[in-house]
Structure 1
Amino acid sequence: MAKKKSSSGGVLSQLFNQNGVKAILGVVAAGSFAIAFGQEKIQQFVSNTGSGSNSACLDQFYRDVPPYLMKDSLNKHSYPLCFNGFNVMYSGVSKTPLWVAEALTPSRLSQKIPREDSFHEEERVDRAHRATLSDYKASGYDRGHMAPNADMPNTESQFDSFSLANMVPQAPKNNQKVWRELEEATRAIVTKQKQDVYVVTGPVFAAKKLKTIGNGVIVPTATYKAIYLPKTGTIGAYYAPNDNSLQVKVVSVCYLEEQLGINLFPQLTEEQKRNTYKLPLTAAGVKANTQFAYSHWDAESQCAEDVANDKLNAMQNQFKSAGGSNVSNTNSSTDANSGTGQNSSTQDAIISQLIETLLQYILQLLK
């Protein structure tokens, strides 16, 4: 900043040397204009320059498009949250995520870090809608990750994965056996077959009367994991009852969408989402050079309807501005409220450059 002050000071000196009265009037006019301009335009300018700073958040979605909530009731007290390495649509009604999205790549999964548990409450969620550590204590349910800790490539994303906004109450055997094996199988597809996998994971609330733990955290009746492999077109979803039965089945994405009221992959066609492949249930079921066999075409389930582009764009914009200060993959210090991705020092620099430019312009007029 010292260099910029010296430059501005040099301009002011030239102004006074050339024409003192005009210079003073010019400086006053410039200052007034800069202040007025700053009050009205600086935020817009900063927002425009920072609008792409949170675009990395969209990388977790297939073709940058988030899943879309088709039911109005699901939108009540919902929070779009961008984390390091995954994104969440959190519900303040269930106090769980409705869906969690990840983009898994060979490069990402090549990074291995030791697990460090750091379960914590999500402070970006209003206290009244927030799941707490005490809600899960002695509940008989695990704090079940939707985006697994083992998917995370660095300490920042690992810490984020332990947010309770990424958790659902999960039956112990479902979490520790069935779900763990499905997570391992999904990672094996990426690492063994060297292909990207887009994943959407979450809870199913299918019963008329739902159980709760703690202060109103709703226990899901099942958990799901929908996956899409763009390289081969392979698609399908795992569906596991949230109990200790160790049951799991592979279903179509349309089957899930009908139950959930969510368009899980808005950029895919209905024809694609009706296809179902024989997805592996364990990592051992993944072979390096063998594609997954086709299973069946789901002609019965009701796929989610297509979503208009303006609604998808609006949802994208919500995630662009939902980063929060803990998101480092945007390479910026993000303001969770404004979503500009710019900090105060950046704004000061822009204002300084604006004033200097105006002074230079006035000098040219006085010559």
Structure 2
Amino acid sequence: MLWLLLLQVWASCLWLGHSELVPLFVNCLEFFYGDTPPDAAMKPQNPAWICQTLNNQRFFATLYDRQKRIPMYSAYKYEPGKFHTNHTWTVEPQLINDSLPQDMYTVQALERAYNITRAQIMQSQAVSADYENSGWDRGHLNPNGHHNTLASRNATFTLTNIVPMDKKLNRGAWKKYEQQTMRQKTKKCQNDKIYVIVGAVPGNSSIAGGRVNVPSHIWSGACCKTRNNTVSAWAAIANNKHNRIWKISLGHLEKRLAQLYGMQNVSLFHDDCPRNVSLTS
């Protein structure tokens, strides 16, 4: 099986050249536990595998749905710092044309630097204006407060890391999970060995005249190496219409996602991550 995976990676690299939109995240596997991304169960029809890059530095990985204009999930290493909300929203030039830079740009800077039109930018991704007066928050999958440097926090403000999220959920139960529950869950983990994947299940409604899908559910899974060199995992899921979170095991989350996606199985993490137990909070 390993040689088949390597062959697929090699063939993908030949096809896509030097772009960061590389299937299987071969250039940013370090954001996944055991260098193992989720399986293909959640892959959209028109996917983009993004190594999220700011100032030529990679900070996390995102599987993006160009058609629905939302991320399927973002994967990162948990290194908590201060939350802040004053960074400018950015977009991904590489979604327009893989010859464009890998770095994030503001819409205005991208238009000026490369003579790109607003319509070209909007064709394959959401822009901040899509969320204005929509009634929905710009909800981070990878939250800026889970990073401990200004650069890594700023990198989370790309629109490819954002979904329409219920305001009460985003500012209430989900925020509590991000800021309080995650700190409690990670107390026994090695600080540099905590891996998180946060995702969104596409729903049946949209904003911005049908441009941006509104997810039906938001979910989070985590796996870490403990200070005792054991492995622990935990998860959570929320309906994107209610201010409530269900804290569950990783195995329970995978089964629930399989149901929501109509798949037989979903695998989010490396096999070492336990499916039916979690750290106590």
Q: Report the TM-score when normalising by structure 1.
A: 0.53
Deviation (angstroms), 1:200: 0.9
Aligned to 2:95: 125
Aligned partners of 1:199 and 1:234: how far apart in 2?
A: 12
Aligned partners of 1:183 and 1:112: how far apart in 2?
A: 12
Q: String of CA shifts for 1:326-347, please: whole Å, max 9, x gaps.
A: xxxxxxxxxxxxxxxxxxxxxx
Aligned to 1:7: none
Q: How does 1:92-107 map to 2 (within 5 A)?
A: 92-104=66-78
Structure 1: gaps of 5 or more residues: 1-46, 48-53, 278-290, 294-367
1:201–1:226: 8 Å Cα contact kept in structure 2? yes
Secondary structure at the aligned position of 1:263 is classed as coil
The higher relative CO (CA closer than 8 Å, separation ≥ 6) is in 1
Closer/same/farther in 2, CA of residues 130 and 167 from structure 1, 3 Å limit: same
Secondary structure at the aligned position of 1:140 is classed as coil
Aligned to 1:330: none
Q: String of CA shifts for 1:97-120, please: whole Å, max 9, x gaps.
A: 10111122xxx33x5585532222
Aligned to 1:347: none
Q: Answer yes or no: is 1:239 the counterpart of 2:208.
A: no
Deviation (angstroms), 1:131: 0.4
Secondary structure at the aligned position of 1:93 is classed as coil
* Amino acid of the structure 1 residue aligned with 2:271: L
Aligned partners of 2:220 and 2:82: how far apart in 1?
A: 22
Q: How does 1:146-185 map to 2 (within 5 A)?
A: 146-184=141-179, 185=181
Secondary structure at the aligned position of 1:85 is classed as strand
Number of equivalenced pairs: 215
Aligned to 1:263: 267
1:257–1:264: 8 Å Cα contact kept in structure 2? no
Aligned to 2:131: 136
Structure with a larger share of its residues in strand: 2
Aligned to 1:58: 29
1:96–1:167: 8 Å Cα contact kept in structure 2? yes
Secondary structure at the aligned position of 1:131 is classed as coil
Q: String of CA shifts for 1:10-53, please: whole Å, max 9, x gaps.
A: xxxxxxxxxxxxxxxxxxxxxxxxxxxxxxxxxxxxx9xxxxxx
Aligned to 1:226: 221
* Amino acid of the structure 1 residue aligned with 2:182: T
Q: Answer yes or no: is 1:213 the counterpart of 2:207.
A: yes
Q: How does 1:23-102 map to 2 (within 5 A)?
A: 57-70=28-41, 74-83=43-52, 84-102=58-76
1:113–1:154: 8 Å Cα contact kept in structure 2? no
* Amino acid of the structure 2 residue aligned with 1:99: Y
Structure with a larger share of its residues in helix: 1
Secondary structure at the aligned position of 1:138 is classed as coil
Deviation (angstroms), 1:276: 4.1
Aligned partners of 2:94 and 2:148: how far apart in 1?
A: 23
2:236–2:253: 8 Å Cα contact kept in structure 1? no
Aligned to 2:280: 292
Deviation (angstroms), 1:92: 0.6
Closer/same/farther in 2, CA of residues 223 and 77 from structure 1, 3 Å limit: same
Deviation (angstroms), 1:141: 0.2
Secondary structure at the aligned position of 2:138 is classed as strand
* Amino acid of the structure 1 residue aligned with 2:267: N
Aligned partners of 1:113 and 1:94: how far apart in 2?
A: 28
Q: String of CA shifts for 1:127-152, please: whole Å, max 9, x gaps.
A: 31210111101000000000001112
Structure 2: gaps of 5 or more residues: 1-17, 19-24, 53-57, 97-120
Larger radius of gyration: 1
Q: Report the TM-score when normalising by structure 2.
A: 0.68
Q: Answer yes or no: is 1:253 the counterpart of 2:253.
A: yes
Aligned partners of 1:211 and 1:159: how far apart in 2?
A: 29
After the TM superposition, which of the residue ranges 56-65 and 229-238 deviates more from structure 2? 229-238
Aligned partners of 2:143 and 2:277: how far apart in 1?
A: 24
Aligned partners of 2:76 and 2:132: how far apart in 1?
A: 28
Closer/same/farther in 2, CA of residues 253 and 156 from structure 1, 3 Å limit: same
2:131–2:138: 8 Å Cα contact kept in structure 1? yes
Aligned partners of 1:256 and 1:201: how far apart in 2?
A: 14
* Amino acid of the structure 1 residue aligned with 2:234: G
Aligned partners of 1:93 and 1:113: how far apart in 2?
A: 30
